[in-house]
Amino acid sequence: MRALVFYGPNQLELAEVPVPELGPGDILVKVAACLICGTDLRIFRGKKTKGVRTPSILGHEFAGTVVAAGPDVGEFRPGDRVGVAPVIPCHTCAYCKKGRENVCANRTALGYEYEGAFAEYVRIPAAAVHGGNVYRLPADLPFEAAALAEPLACCVNGQRNSQIGLGDAVVILGAGPIGLMHLALAKAAGAGRVIVSEPNDQRRSMALELGADLVVNPEVEDLNGVVKNATDRLGADAVILAIGIPALAEQALTLVRKGGSVNFFAGFSVGDAASMDVNLIHYNELKITGTSAARREDYGLALRLIGKGLVDAGRIVTHRYPLDRGWEAFKLAESGQGIKVAIIP
């Protein structure tokens, strides 16, 4: 089969590799769509190394059709349309027992420890099949939309950590695909006003189309002033940092009201450090959270939200490339010219 193989930083090549062999409990999925994640881009550029193997096949936001099943699979059969939550928890560590499987001490994931879905076929290991990571898809749900469930599930987790409620003022820093999904979720949660900060003209326009109340170009406008004017000088109830730029970390603390929350959703590159005035946290009693991956229940909820049209997957996936144009697809995703870029094997 053909696959995009990652050989190291800045080395991504189309190659012929064997079709994965199945063991007991495994299933083989023919990939219909796999989306490029910001994490894939950081791995590609050598800015994320934890859990990354070389050579390996990346890609963890995907959906497709079951084409083969090993012994003892159980409920899944060839022809089933499926999406897969890629983070596989151990179910037995202290974190899993407390309902925090997304930060499982022994977690593995497709696209990391297991080969990913920038390929014609991907093997779903028995641990994922029997662990409840595989979801049947409704017949009317497009594969591209189903592939978006993985990043949306992570946003569901981030929204839970942010505790956004009815009437809240929310600021989202960054209007890439993650920021736009946070926008949709905040509006669905009943946020009273959502302000999106984004220097890219196209992405600001998309944010307005998807329901943002205000958009700000931080390169030419005073974001703090806009937020204060829109919130009776108090600041936002919640701020979500949806782009991994360290300089924005401290600014996020200045945008939120006393007792508000700041969620550092986006990951930062290896070696990045952010300077913060901790007195802003101390005296303003701020709640600071992070977000790491998602739980299986978040993935199931994300699929339902997409199916109900609460998140417009068709608007967020803007570009599609075949495997043999994978390098071009990665470059476009990195450029910010599109929103979400799909590889269609």
Of 267, 2, 244, 6, residue with least CA distance to 111: 6
Domain match, 241 and 115 both: no
Q: Is residue 281 part of a domain?
A: yes
What's residue 31's pLDDT? 98
3-state secondary structure of 70: coil
Output the pLDDT for position 218: 98
pLDDT of residue 270: 78
83 within domain boundaries: yes
CATH number, domain with residue 325: 3.90.180.10
pLDDT of residue 272: 86
Quick check: pTM over 0.85?
Answer: yes
**pLDDT given at position 185:** 98
Domain containing 252 equals: 155-290
Is 305 within a domain? no
Same domain membership, residue 173 and residue 88: no
Q: What is the pLDDT of residues 73-120, one digit of tens each?
A: 988 999 999 999 999 999 999 999 999 999 999 999 999 999 999 999
Average pLDDT value over all residues in the chain:
96
Beta bridge partners of 61: 35
User: Has residue 232 got a pLDDT over 90?
Assistant: yes
Q: Is residue 103 part of a domain?
A: yes
The CATH number of residue 213's host domain is: 3.40.50.720
Same-domain status, 196 and 284:
yes
Residues 192 and 272 in one domain: yes
18-30 pLDDT per residue, tens: 999 999 999 999 9
Handedness of CA 46, 52, 57, 61 (dihedral sign): negative
* pLDDT given at position 338: 87
The count of domains in the chain is: 2
Q: What is the mean pLDDT of residues 253-278?
A: 92
Q: Answer whether residue 72 shows pLDDT above 90.
A: no
